[in-house]
Amino acid sequence: MEQVPNQNRADRSQRPLPRHVGIIMDGNGRWAQRRGLPRSAGHKEGAKNFKRIAKYCNRIGIQYLTVYAFSTENWKRPALEIKALMLLFKQYLKEALDEFEEENIQIRFLGDTSVFSSDLQELIRQTQEAAKKQTGMVLNIAMNYGGRAELVSAVKAICAKVTSGELEQNEIDEATISQYLDTAGQPDPDLIIRPSGEYRTSNFLLWQSAYAEYLFMDILWPDFTPENLEEALDAYAHRNRRFGGVTPV
């Protein structure tokens, strides 16, 4: 990770904070394997850390946090691992439902959640219902999410509107596409963090990340601490975001 001058660490309150942070929670399996544990033990630690980091982001004033919990490609994993992940989603969503209510966090879901078991879908429904009363950080949990699948759904929905005459083809612009994504109405991510030492974006927020700053960190997700997040925020504060323009002199 890039080096950040020390004096900036002293006064973090003056840093420009990203409004929207995305995290690819990667490295659970390796964390477990290094300890001679089953991969599911790594996911359990990862789920604990998900709660810790989400609460921390809310407390320091991040307005939107999106976590990648299960991708459209993760169904390729062994059945036992998928089963363990589904159990964890149920357990940790139940816990989050209570604890995040106290923290005023609004949970939303990205991805096609209609494929999950009926009890998990019911929990998702309850969580979304509870979120309507909250006003704090928006926490998007991406589950059965893939950026390409999200774009395919958006294209189909837009085509249906054109066919029914509700939308003119030449009215379609970038804002139209954004409105048909699961993140409709939310700002694009400013910073995407991928721990675990992998340098890939893995189908995460493909459209929305066009101008996101990326930070790849060589640490496994269960070991990722609030201080690691602070380091990422320090690095973000030093990035020169130009959005295709030039830096004013």
Catalytic positions are 26, 74
Straight-line distance from the first to the last Cα atom of the chain, in angstroms, rounded to the nearest whole number:
28
Q: Which is nearer to ligand FPP, 12 or 34 (CB)?
A: 34
Residue 167: CB minimum distance to ligand FPP, A: 34
Residue 127: CB minimum distance to ligand FPP, A: 10
Q: Which is nearer to ligand FPP, 136 or 177 (CB)?
A: 136
Closest-CA residue to 167 (of 153, 180, 150): 180
Residue 62: CB minimum distance to ligand FPP, A: 17
Q: Which is nearer to ligand FPP, 178 or 202 (CB)?
A: 202
CA distance 217 to 232: 9
- Nearby residues of 126 by Cβ (< 8 Å), 6 or more positions away: 97
Q: Which residue is nearest to ligand FPP (CB)?
A: 29
CA distance 111 to 150: 7
Determine the 3-state secondary structure of 144 from DSSP: strand
Question: Which residues are near ligand FPP by CB under 6 A?
Answer: 25-30, 43, 46-47, 50, 69-70, 74, 85, 88-89, 92-93, 141, 196
